[in-house]
Amino acid sequence: MDNKKLQELVEEISITFFQRPFRHQAYFNPRLRSTGGRYLLSNHNIEINKRYFELFGEKELIGIIKHELCHYHLHLEGKGYQHRDADFKYLLKEVGAPRFCTPLPDSKKRKASKRILVYICGDCSQVYKRKRAINTAKYVCGKCRGKLIKVKELTEG
């Protein structure tokens, strides 16, 4: 499927399920990694992750398009278009759009291998385990204000 066919599919789904035309651009964005699609508030375009179509087929693609069209039509109408809004949740149910897309197989691998950084206070030996690196020149021990030292980096999974 190319961008032209995607555009036609989005326009068709918009008329069929929303009874409103889609008057902007829909295209595949190869840079999308962790999401199936994205509605751009600035120019009202819709970007789709082509990998979802390649891995899961047209049914998943249609679900992603419906989801993004919910954002699109609600935003243009001035209603609640965000995931937390009641208008958005209601319209998702109305058109049979998924709230979330199926996770990509490689995203599970990335989440499984978590790194843990271990820091220790040089004065009181308090241990700190963190997922993100700490700037040891800027931050000190919360217990005694001593200097933090990076001890090791563990990877789980």
DSSP class of residue 99 equals: S
Tokens (6 digits) for 117: 């950084």
Is 68 marked active-site?
Answer: yes
Which of 11, 58, 60, 68 is flagged as catalytic? 68
Helical ranges in 46-97 per DSSP H:
50-56, 58-77, 86-95
- Give the N- to C-terminal CA distance of the chain in Å, as an integer: 36
d(C-alpha 80, C-alpha 87), whole Å: 5
Long-range contacts (CB closer than 8 Å, 24 or more residues apart) made by 143-148: 146/121, 146/122, 147/121, 147/122, 147/123, 148/119, 148/120, 148/121, 148/122
Contacts of 81 (CB under 8 A, 6+ apart): 39, 70, 71, 72, 74, 75, 87, 88
Catalytic machinery residues: 68
